[in-house]
Amino acid sequence: MRKVEIREDTNGYQRIFLNNKPLFVFGPLDQGFWPDGIYLAPTDTALRSDLDYEKMIGCNMVRKHVKVEPERWYYWADTLGLLVWQDFPSPQDIFESPGSADNTRPSDQAAQIETEMKAMVDTHRNHPCIMMWVAFNEGWGQYDTVRIANLFKSWDPTRLVDDASGWNDFGAGNVLDSHIYPGPGPVPVQVDRASVIGEFGGAGFPIPGHLWNPNGPFSDEQDLPNAATQQPWIVDRLGAVRKLAANGISAAVYTQLSDVENEVNGFLTYDRTTDQKADPAAIKQAANRLYPLPDYAVVVPDAQDQAEQWRYTLQQPPPEWISPAYNDSGWLLGNAAFGTPGTPNLPVGTLWNTSDIWIRRTFNYSGGALNAPALSVITMKMPRFISMGI
């Protein structure tokens, strides 16, 4: 048996509780595609292998993305002990752009869709692995969101409901779910719902010999300079998730489990080999630091908390700029965060719309010894960071 609910933790954050204990939930976006059978795995062993891999890299959850799998998949998730966020397969006939008003549908369309929604719940309610129903994703087919979320709650009050993963949230589900690419980034803390990152990551590199279409084109998430950079990129992002978890985030979903056709941003290649992809042991080590919830103390506030001033320049400085003794008095002064208006989930304090920026900040610290100090960075591109010491 298992019990899942949203409850306030000892720090005042709304958290996901599993069997009366707070649990940070982490796992991949899993679209369930295969290069030979498309939506059908070649064997039961192959079907299980994805779940085995997710356990091997330290995940405790998987988000099954806009697909309902064969019953054997849920049997293996039950058996292996993986939690599941189950998406409803999204209709593609209407589309809600971010920030738009909710849609409505003709009654015959709504009746058919809701019949299929309820059938998904009724045929899978006996699988304890499923902890949350996801009604809509990124505005795809989204309509009458509050009413639909309440329907899911009435059909199955034992599980959580995500009214909209990404984009247009109408306050009806148990979680506020934001998609932040590449991220991760903050999600506003709620008074009565958990805050989660429903998708982040999405960076990868095409691996020759393991591509669905060797001639491309590849998805725009393919923004890493070479295959060797993918593992440190992922590990760095999981470190940022750990800091966000300490400040109220309850779950994070990394995009994605495997490459899918022209998308090359998986932990695994499309043919499910691990050649030139991330080392499972390194990913597991980073993921395991998310459990239990980390307890961080903020030494120096960042832009999520308040608009702190930095020295910055848009012109490449001399090599000695990384030295703590470097004189940066000629640099500009600006409040973090740096970026352009409309940057998701971050208040922009200083306009930055060029390709490169160098920033420095000096502060005094008089506390005791620091145990595992961490730098919190939220970026929309892949930066180069240099630690200048304390």
3-class SS letters over 189-213: CCCCCEEEEEEEECCCCCCCCCCCC
Bridge partners of residue 133, in order along the sequence: 86, 161
Q: What's the pLDDT tens digit per position in 200-227?
A: 999 988 888 999 999 888 876 657 888 8
Rounded to whole angstroms, the Cα distance separating 349 from 333 reads 11
Sequence spans of domains, the chain? 4-288, 300-390
Residue closest to 223 by CA, chosen among 24, 380, 56, 77: 380
Phi, psi (deg, nearest 5) at residue 14: -75, 120
Residues in the chain: 390
Strand 194-201 and strand 175-180: the pairing is parallel
Note the pLDDT of residue 345: 57
User: Hey, which CATH number is domain 4-288, 3.30.460.20, 3.20.20.80, 3.30.70.2190, 3.40.50.970?
Assistant: 3.20.20.80
Rounded to whole angstroms, the Cα distance separating 192 from 246 reads 18
Average pLDDT over residues 98-111: 95
Q: In this predicted model, which residue has the larger pLDDT, 14 or 371?
A: 14
Residue closest to 38 by CA, chosen among 67, 64, 63: 67
pLDDT category, 390, cuts 50, 70, 90?
Answer: very low
Note the pLDDT of residue 380: 55
Bridge partners of residue 249, in order along the sequence: 195
Average pLDDT over residues 63-67: 97
Residue 192 has pLDDT above 80, yes or no: yes
Note the pLDDT of residue 337: 87
Calculate the average pLDDT of the chain. Answer: 90
Residue 47 has pLDDT above 70, yes or no: yes
Q: Which amino acid is at 289?
A: R
In percent, the amount of the chain with pLDDT more than 90 equals 72
Distance of CA 170 to CAs 12, 149, 159, 164, Å?
Answer: 23, 10, 19, 8
